[in-house]
Structure 1
């Protein structure tokens, strides 16, 4: 009890001053009303005959019952009982307060029947009429047999009784509105506190997420810059070496040596172009600025185009690329983005294939899923690198079978593109026996 009181006082202090003043005024008014009604009500009960006292006590308990129903949010039932009680008690007070069936107050009985017949529906009218007729019959019978004394004693006037009832009802109404307003304000204050607490927790969680995201972005930026610095610088050193050789010893080189140098230069430039393209597209993908436009396309045609793009590179290493996908295999995907995936996977397959190796590409359409497999017979992937394949890592850079440079950025880009298609990508690899990359996308 003490704990609840302390909580109430702490909450009450947080209510606006204007609202608190309103509560103080209402409380003082109710206290004054109680100070007036208690002696007045007591005198009516003490100095009246017992039937009037019983009527007042009955009225008191009816008001308590109505208050309880309102607190239980049964307002419709409480309103009906209140109307019934006011009408019945009005009849009872007039009847017992004057001269019973010999007084003009008996006319209240048919008057109430007519009045309620106008304002009540059929069901309520039958209910009220039954109660009223029963009350009238009971009062009349008790008076005939001399049980009731229908006169007020000289110390109590009829006006005193009416005033006591009016003050009692007004006090009841004041108590109800005061407690209702106080409860509403407390609930509103509690709700506001809970909302603020939830908002504070949510803001704190968002702040933690933002801080974590910022740390990840900073880490990614550092790795990204390291990758760019490493993978752009190293190949350019080789390209500069080839160009310097051609420039300095062009006259002494045979046509075959010149052609070989030009082929190496071309392959190096192609590799750098793909690297720059991957860097550009990955950056756009991270910023969310790359367009995503899935359309119904033939995957066989796209695979054929990708093979044609790397045909010269494959011929230079004497690597054969076999397209086992079926023609007219239509599916909905973003042609440009999937072409980036195919180019990166094909580039890696050629890069890590031994001279004379074979690369096999196959596609399979089952329901709403398209699966593409690219398998090579190259060096494979060491176990220690398998967990880093689809991650940006500046320390993860494996040269090809002819010392071709590269990084895992292309595979990271492939992973993000497939995820954008609500798909998944995986691989199976065994060192010395080759690798098989598989990705699936869904309509």
Structure 2
């Protein structure tokens, strides 16, 4: 039977961005002409780097956005690393089937773990944002604490690591999820309460200054009274004898003093209990303009757009692997997946366990991730310089992969508050360590 065939073979495909990315590129070019919204030096570096970047259409990356994209990133990693036979989003929509079989149990356990992790990540990034907001805060005030807190700014950079392997130290695949522009916010405290705390703090500082001046003047008067009568003891004795013979007139009775509640306070109101609590926890912080509230539908729409951009970025990076990109796809046997987070020591969450003994090797992994992004290391300490010498050994074991989530506007103008302070100036509670999620994610191949 005759058939038709094209006379000319189709042209060879080139690694180019799809047409759907043109609106984003047009927006970037328009902002570049205006000279606003985006740090274009970092943008050019990220374009030439091996690690791709996803830009969020917002001035900051909220904790909810970071949690949603981190969950989506984990689902992509599990599928690309051959830990699940289908994408996680598709597995959750498939019929349950028989859960008594081994494959059914593994599938149910993985979906349960993913659901638990997705709920934990929401509160995790909220607690992390609060921990960054409390950087440099102590129970007492000092200029150093206030200065360090002001330098903290409103955004920070954080890293979530996804390690695929039997253990953290024997990971066969290392994926870093970097968030540049995470919103720094003291969650649980309204903006008006923050303003009241700042006003009461200023009033308390003024009262303390006035009280110290008053105490100093009273002490000076007491000293002058004590030194004055020492030179005329005999005169005072004779005067007291003569005055004792003179009868003293009766004094009129004093009027009862008004209750303390009726005494005027000169317009100064005592701070509320909540304001006092805030003052004792943290030093004065700069006034932060609240972000405009959006509806639930608009927020979910922004989440879906960001998830599609993340999936498209990973697909484009895999297609551009021959041209210096990054291909995460690999045929690996089903094994465990470990989730780790780099956070300050003051970070508190019941689902995360501190892993300070793993901080050295994991920080080297982050340095390699930043080096592939054409960015400097996270620290310049002597220990980090010594560990960078062994970076070739780590590269030979497994290549670091990952993606950047960046905000539309670089608020801090840097890579987070830790890049502005030397390791010697960092408080113990602000020291960055690694935390591991206490859950368990195990891949499977049968279905």
Shorter-normalised TM-score: what interval? under 0.3
TM-score, normalisation: structure 1: 0.21
TM-score, normalisation: structure 2: 0.21
Relative contact order, higher structure (CA 8 A, sep 6+): 2
Higher Cα Rg, which structure: 1
